[in-house]
Amino acid sequence: MAKIGSIATRKVRDLFAGPEGINLRLTNLRSAAQSSAVDPGPVEIRSQNATVDVTERGETLRYPLLLVYGEKVINSLTEKFRTFSGTVQVTAEMRHSQDRLEGLQEGLELCADAVTQVLDENRGDWGSGMYYAGGYQVAYGAVKQGGLNYIQVAKVTFEIGVSVS
């Protein structure tokens, strides 16, 4: 099962990093919104599940930052004669940071919208027995000290169906 979680996480990361991924969506959203928020540049994408404190101590980061990781693997055996037939719950955690509070929430919301746009436009078969039927949950965290002075996090959680022999 650990291999299935890793494969699903890699597929999601590749989806966000691709040419039609999050950076293109975020650029389009910023120009459409005529946002007054500072454009921090391209999103850095990683496959990692680590708290803000741990990642900041470990190395220098560039924001906005998208962390993609599997939270839960469920083999419900909905197809009885398959090795794995169930879901992988994946989280795309968007972190946005800047030196002022003004515009931080707006910038994070644009980032979360870019993540959900990528998911909305990639419903269906992802190959290798994986599919995304749609649906997600977005949870916004409170602003904290960190990053470039202030940091805020949005988590987009969704499920990928998996059916492999």
For 17-74, what is each residue's pLDDT tens digit? 999 999 999 988 888 877 655 566 789 999 988 887 777 776 778 899 999 999 999 9
Burial class (CB in 10 A: 0-12, 13-18, 19+), 2: exposed
DSSP result, 79-101: STTSSEEEEEEEEEEEEEEESSS
Say what the pLDDT of residue 13 is.
96
For 87-145, what is each residue's pLDDT tens digit? 999 999 999 998 889 888 998 999 999 999 999 999 999 999 999 999 999 999 999 99
Provide the residue range defining the domain that includes 109. Answer: 2-164
Q: How far apart are CA 138 and CA 83, in angstroms?
A: 31
CATH of the domain at 56: 3.30.2000
How many domains does the structure of the chain reveal? 1
